[in-house]
């Protein structure tokens, strides 16, 4: 197992180098001078320009610049945001929990509905439930989620007036974050009305972000379940006279869930890409909105480091999913 883990980590090194090259190249590929691009619309005085050139090392050969950049990133120096003058890493740390919280609830929504629906569809294969579920899943899979979010706002916020239109919590509530998760922090402070406010802000964005993963998980669970139900050991279990619920729950489900775990892991990229749109629609203060805002503010230091940090997160999550997969499926370790 240790050998597998080390091997798997070694395979990541080229990707890691590639990701840093991409982030490094980004600022240099922008049209025009990188320092002027980073300075934004205000421009920069000639003396300051030379100073910055020195400071960022743009006078060095390109490979030395890259090594310098990797050194900075490795020591946790992701630069200072132009617009807020705060270190990028600090901004990231305050915004990332918001995206985590949103993604977590989106994934819970997708799993809680998707897995049981997929199981029932597989067991009752060909029934009207199966057919309508697969139809609905295809609609969910084809959904432009930015439009879906607007529709939900029109109906639940505009027409019914049930949920707020944007933000994470009512403006009347203000407290120092502990974990950065609104739903947890409000409980830690023991403020029930604030907790309810946080939850009501969370419902619509979580549904919107969870829609595509829900469709994917339901489809994947169904097909994994169908495959397992045709296996010999399931037939044996049936022949032994076990009750259908025991066959499905004990024998089939446990094996069917293995590929589903991978599917769920692969949704992390989908979630982070979806967060860009969802957070923009609901003015959710997370890293997706941060990236889009920074692009429009031409704060390229943030875009560069955000790109790098998000890619690192996706990579780390994929690694964890792979390792988990090896834990639950011994056949993988052998190969």
Partner 1 sequence: MSQSTEITSMASGSPDRLTGLRTFWHYFSVNRGAVIGLFVFILLVLAALFAPLLAPYAPDVQDKTAFLRPPAWQAGGSTQYLLGTDPVGRDILSRLLYGARFSLLIGAVVVTLALTGGITLGLLAGYFRGWVDVAIMRVMDLILAFPSLLLALVLVTILGPGLFNAMLAIALVLQPHFARLVRAAVMAEKSREYVVAAKVAGAGHIRLMLATILPNCLAPLIVQATLSFSNAILEAAALGFLGLGAQPPTPEWGTMLASAREFILRAWWVVTFPGLAILITVLAINLIGDGLRDALDPKLRRS
Give the residues lining the site for partner 1 (CB under 8 A). 14-15, 18-19, 22, 26, 29-31, 135, 138-139, 141-144, 146-148, 150-151, 153-154, 157-158, 165, 223, 226-227, 269-270, 272-274, 276-277, 280, 291-292, 295-296, 300, 303, 307, 310-311, 314-315
Closest distance of CB 47 from partner 1, Å: 29
Q: Which residue from 255, 267, 263 is spatially nearest to 219, judged by alpha carbons?
A: 263
Closest distance of CB 182 from partner 1, Å: 24
Using the 8-state DSSP alphabet, how is residue 86 labeled? Answer: S
Closest distance of CB 318 from partner 1, Å: 8
Q: Which is nearer to partner 1, 31 or 76 (CB)?
A: 31
Closest distance of CB 37 from partner 1, Å: 10
Q: Which is nearer to partner 1, 156 or 195 (CB)?
A: 156
Looking at the chain, the number of H-run helices and the number of E-run strands are 15, 0
* Angstrom distance (rounded) from CA 181 to CA 120: 34
Q: Which is nearer to partner 1, 9 or 29 (CB)?
A: 29
* Angstrom distance (rounded) from CA 297 to CA 82: 9
Q: Which is nearer to partner 1, 34 or 170 (CB)?
A: 34
3-class SS at 87? strand
Q: Which is nearer to partner 1, 138 or 324 (CB)?
A: 138
Exposed e or buried b for every residue in 282-298, given b needs 16+ CB within 10 A?
bebbbbbbbbeebeebb
Q: Which residue from 115, 301, 112 is spatially nearest to 220, judged by alpha carbons?
A: 115
Closest distance of CB 83 from partner 1, Å: 15
CA atoms within 13 A of residue 185's CA, in its CB half-sphere: 18
Closest distance of CB 62 from partner 1, Å: 17
**Are 103 and 272 spatial neighbours (Cβ–Cβ below 8 Å)?**
yes
Cα Dmax for the chain: 86
Q: Which is nearer to partner 1, 89 or 292 (CB)?
A: 292
């Amino acid at each position: 197992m240790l050998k597998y883990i080390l091997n798997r980590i070694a395979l990541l090194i080229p990707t890691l180098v590639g990701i840093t090259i991409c982030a490094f190249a980004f600022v240099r590929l922008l049209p025009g001078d990188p320092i002027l691009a980073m300075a934004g619309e205000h421009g920069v005085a000639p003396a300051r320009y030379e100073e910055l050139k020195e400071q960022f090392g743009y006078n060095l050969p390109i490979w030395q610049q890259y090594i310098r950049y990797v050194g900075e990133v490795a020591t946790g120096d992701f630069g200072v945001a132009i617009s807020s003058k705060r270190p990028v890493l600090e901004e990231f740390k305050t915004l990332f929990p918001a995206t985590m919280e949103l993604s977590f609830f989106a994934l819970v929504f997708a799993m809680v509905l998707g897995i049981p629906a997929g199981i029932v569809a597989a067991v009752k294969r060909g029934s009207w439930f199966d057919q309508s579920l697969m139809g609905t899943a295809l609609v969910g899979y084809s959904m432009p989620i930015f439009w879906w979010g607007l529709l939900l706002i029109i109906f639940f916020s505009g027409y019914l007036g049930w949920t707020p239109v944007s933000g994470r919590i009512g403006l009347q509530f203000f407290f120092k974050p502990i974990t950065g998760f609104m739903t947890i922090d409000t409980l830690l402070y023991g403020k029930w009305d604030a907790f309810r406010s946080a939850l009501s802000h969370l419902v619509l964005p979580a549904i919107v972000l969870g829609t595509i993963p829900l469709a994917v998980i339901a489809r994947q669970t169904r097909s994994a379940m169908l495959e397992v139900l045709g296996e010999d050991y399931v037939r044996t279990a049936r022949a032994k006279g076990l009750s259908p619920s025991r066959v499905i729950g004990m024998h089939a489900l446990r094996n069917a869930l293995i590929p589903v775990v991978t599917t769920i892991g692969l949704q992390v990229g989908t979630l982070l890409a979806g967060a860009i749109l969802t957070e923009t629609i609901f003015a959710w203060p997370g890293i997706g909105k941060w990236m889009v805002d920074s692009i429009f503010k031409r704060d390229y230091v943030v875009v560069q480091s955000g790109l790098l940090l998000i890619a690192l997160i996706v990579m780390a999550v994929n690694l964890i999913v792979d390792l988990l997969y090896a834990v639950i499926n011994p056949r993988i370790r052998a190969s």
